[in-house]
Chains A and B, each alone.
Chain A
Amino acid sequence: MTARPTPLAFALATLFAWALFLGVLVDRAELFIAAIPLAIALLSGRRPGSLPRFDLGQEVSAERLAEGGRLAASATVMAHDPLPLVEILQPLPGLLKLHFGCNRIALSLVAGEEAHWNYELLCPARGRFTLGALRLRLWDRSGLWNAETQRTDVKQVSVYPFIAPLRHVPRPMRTQSSFGNYVAPRVGEGLEPGEIRPFVPGDRVRRVNWRASLRRGQIYVTQFHEERNADIVLLLDTLSETGERPFSTLDFSVRAGAALAGAYLARKDRVGFIEYGGYLRWLKPATGRRQRVSLVEALLPASVYFSYAVKQLDFLPAQVLPPQALVIALSPLLDRRFIDTSVNLVARGFDLVIIAVSPIEPARRVLQGSRLDELALRLWAIEWQLSVEALRRRGLAVVEWRPEVPLDAVLAPFARFRPRPAARR
């Protein structure tokens, strides 16, 4: 605890000196009398002694919540020694906003008294936040001295991205060997009828196609397509970002990634994740509820870290980026390095779909909206559109997504038909 005189003490001392000086100068006793209240105010200051004993605790209503959720926080102060005037501040992380109440309070407690203090925070953006490093300022009554200290009762709060339900997702071109929801070209055990062929010994009687057999005069059996799952890898571009949180292109990409992960995992697919940026982070493809949680946790801290060194995807283990996987890239397509990596992946034979998050609207939100800004945005939109078209001409499947449009509506055409990739390096 560090005690120090406040600027009020110096202001009082200055005025006191002025009053005395002017009193001597004009030779009038009134100015000396006027200086008496200032002198008494100065003398009434009491430097805080040793730190008074008190307990300070904080509770939060939830440790996990979704974007846009509200977090109720309550603090309790139990004074063992008198606290004449104590100011408590809970510094808020940048992205959390005060919704109700106040994160700063002034209290006056006698020994043995307890005080409660409630406030509510709005969590508009994803992330991991730390609450609980409470700053305390102990004032003397006169306001001439204060002492500062800190109490830490750390509470971690995770704010998860909003997951929009998706009915349509890009259909993978290749399937894996496990059971799933996609009708595989390979015939075998399944529900989707395929071609018919003449009966051979070993075929099951229940597979006999009686209608075709009667028409042809020979026993035919119906073949069924296998229903298989697929490997999906979400490739998140964290090399560049436009706009302000929680409406930046990266935030929209993360929300899209979380929604896609949920939709594919519901289809029994194995879903993995690669963050491609200043850091290269990944999560091996897997399925199930645990993977869903792991994916959302992995998406949570995604942010742009500037780095000159960008690691190549060639060095990733094959389990992280399986050759048969559908790679869904989430990017605003602003960094040349990510575009080159995408083209490289397609050239290596990966099934790639790029969800291009339009940077125009996020940028518009942070601009003033002047005519010059509008003109610049329109030019940028044309330029961005041209770069998307250039990628399409190279054979890449690019889905343009303006964040104001539901992702489901944008992905619907890709759920039925996908153009064959034919990328040239």
Chain B
Amino acid sequence: MMRYSAIVPIIILVGVPLWVAPSLPVVIVGAVAACFCGAGMLRPWRSAISVGGSLALIDYALALSLARGGLDIVGAAAFGLALSFLLDLTDFARRFRGAEISAAVTRSQIAFWLGRVAITIAVVALLCSGAAVFAYLVPLLGRPIVAGLGAAIAFAGALHGGIVRVDGNQP
């Protein structure tokens, strides 16, 4: 059942780029991404989800480059959350496929995900308001350099925090 609830993130992943720029290239890339994500949801197959997610990101980037409209924070946050949830849901379904899952596990997992959504919303709000101040301070030519550096630092930080970090109590 949890596996099939991944249909909601897939709809969001395809819907947000179409909302931004309803054009044929976006529809085509979005359809391919949806196919991969759907296959990944049904199997469940993590590689297909990763490919589908990457295609959805390309689709979103394509839509944003075609539209050239104003900043859509809510749509972007929803897209990011959908992408994160699609991976989480399919991975959870894949991990415990064929296993008996106690009600406590489902309850606590849903509570964990809801908590993460709340944190994400708070962080997005904080960063967006902080970015407005930062944009006022940094000159126009320096912004891409700062953005690139910020992206690289954020990636390295998340990678270190999520994967390679070793806690103090580890042998």
Contact = CB atoms under 8 A, between A and B. Distances in A.
B99 A13 contact: no
B34 interface: no
A38 B50 CA distance: 13
Interface stretch (A63-71, A139-147, A349-357): A139-147
A8 interface: yes
A394 interface: no
A139 B95 contact: yes
Contact of A102 (B72, B99, B144): B99
A241 to B, nearest CB: 32
A31 B49 CA distance: 19
Interface string B101-136: 110110111001000100110011001100100000
Contacts of B137: none
Range of interface residues on B (Cβ < 8 Å): 35 or more
B36 interface: no
B76 interface: yes
Contacts of B11: none
A19 interface: yes
A27 B77 contact: no
A87 B96 contact: yes
A10 B163 contact: yes
A32 to B, nearest CB: 7
A216 to B, nearest CB: 87
Contacts of A16: 155, 158
Given A11-B87, A30-B75, A34-B57, A107 B159 contact: no
Contacts of B155: 13, 16-17, 20
B4 interface: no
Given A24-B144, A24-B151, A41-B116, A104 B100 contact: yes
A87 to B, nearest CB: 7
Find the residue from A7, A36, A39, A115 having the highest chain B CB count within 10 A: A36
Range of interface residues on A (Cβ < 8 Å): 35 or more
A370 interface: no
Interface string A16-55: 1111111111111111111111111111110101100000
A8 B60 CA distance: 22
Contacts of B167: 47, 49
Contact of B119 (A34, A40, A142): A40
B154 A35 contact: yes
Given A11-B46, A27-B144, A104-B98, 17 more contacts: A3-B170, A15-B54, A16-B158, A17-B155, A20-B152, A25-B61, A26-B64, A30-B64, A34-B57, A34-B60, A41-B88, A87-B95, A102-B100, A105-B102, A106-B99, A139-B95, A143-B95
18 contacts: A8-B46, A13-B158, A13-B163, A15-B53, A22-B58, A29-B71, A30-B79, A31-B60, A33-B77, A34-B79, A36-B80, A38-B80, A42-B159, A47-B170, A85-B105, A105-B99, A109-B104, A142-B88
